[in-house]
Structure 1
Amino acid sequence: MKQGNISRAVIHTGFLVYSILCLLPLFVVLTISLSDEQSIFQSGYHLIPEKISLDAYAFIFSGNSPIIQAYGVTIIVTLLGTLMHLVISSMLAYGLSRNEVKYKNIISFIVVFCLLFNGGLVPWYMLFSKYLHLKDTLLVLIVPYLVSSVNVLIMRNFFRTIPDSIVESARIDGSGEFNTFLRLVVPLSTPVLATIGLFVAVFYWNDWFTASLLIEDGKLYPLQFLLQSIMNNIAYLQGNALTQKLATSLPDETARMATCVLAVAPIALTYPFLQKYFVKGLTLGAVKA
């Protein structure tokens, strides 16, 4: 018994040390973002700021950087994109998991084929800009990623673990297919939906590539693309001889770390609320597969 307690203590201590090592870089990033720019150049990085300053955040939230509006765009895109992705992908996956659905093998082949091959960047750009006329619209940040072949296959395999007797009993009671899916299958699939939803939400939140290609209106810039633009502007000012004197007064390193904090904080604060579903979604499918 004592040996078991010692082993458990060693394992817990190892995980604790590993967790601290994982959190330490994030703490350093937060510390640098709250430090004075000059103190960093003079004495380097410290775990505790030598001189606390909010200049980096003041610069990012200044009138020249409409970050509040970019936050709103990113939040709307993330919420709508994640919700629509889960609805469309789960309905497709549920249909592919039922044996009585006609042509499900052909549709499954198409899903796998799209996973392995794609048309490339140029046809993708032409589709959304020229044919669908979604360029410079909020929808162009959402529509391209409404369905993922990987997520459809994961959901399909999970839906197959749900006993057929549950679906059959609902049909005997007179429940329609959509009502059965909504009232029985979806509640039983909370772990996989939460897991996929977290992955999709993180992707939408961090997506800047779509905006760089298809968004020219500054009012529609998402957060990640705007923060990248801010950093590029600082680098340009520092590399330009005419504006180099002005750039020396701008926060550089602290602003970079502040942008990281602003980009990571919402997802980091959301994850603990979904952690139990996330862990369950990863383990439940593995046990039943």
Structure 2
Amino acid sequence: MIQHSIKFNQELEGWWCIIANHKVYLPEPSNNIPCGVFADLALPFTPPENVHEIGVFEGTTVYLLQITNDEFKQHEAEFFGFRTVLFDQPEKFEFVARAFQVDLFLTTHQFCGQCGNKMSLIDWELATLCKPCNHRCYPRISPCIIVAIRNKDKILLAQGVHHKPGQMSILAGFVESGETLEQAVHREVFEEVGIKVKNLKYFSSQPWPFPHSLMVGFTAEYDSGELVLCEKEILSADWFTVDSMPNTAPIQSIAGQLIAQTKRMMKLAQ
């Protein structure tokens, strides 16, 4: 579905992703994304002039609605981070992740980066246009690789500087300008832990609002080298067997899915 902005009216029916301060509104008691005719939902917010169609879920249009900071403060207790949706309502994560990313795009592209004039919304696609210089902008997507590395019956896990204490995961990093995804895997692995890998295989992908990433997952096998950690990125890293696994990412995330797939391969190698 083409993402675009439309004039709001009270009779619009759909799923309502209400976003503020990089959080989504999950009202009590169900803590679910509101769904229905806007006028019937009695939501405690004043809708803006435009809302944004961002997709379809279960045959019903999904809308992004941005609210004011004052309204957010009045109802802050019912706003949650995107991980809450990923863990509790994973089937809705895709469109909520898109809502987060579109919200960021609209918030950060109010003025033209080329001439500084105010941008206008285009009404037939999700984009902003500077009429004086004709500069057009679309939501940014930043590809990021994530890779599970296996060495026979062991998997490489690391604790990054931003990980929760006691939790370990697989390696990940942003793709640089001019790189292929495969080149990014080899570079990131060598930069972060000093080893080389081989036999890369694509696994799957997952949109990740951090803040506008697309996580592209791979599996790989250890090739050569000793672990030498980049201290700015990695606090610790080691090889683990199935029986010695530490606390890792949940299965709802692509990291958790890659770890689960690699554990199956590790068992076959035993």
TM-score, scaled relative to structure 1:
0.23
More relative contact order, 1 or 2 (CA 8 Å, 6+ apart)? 1
Which of structures 1 and 2 has the bigger CA Rg? 1
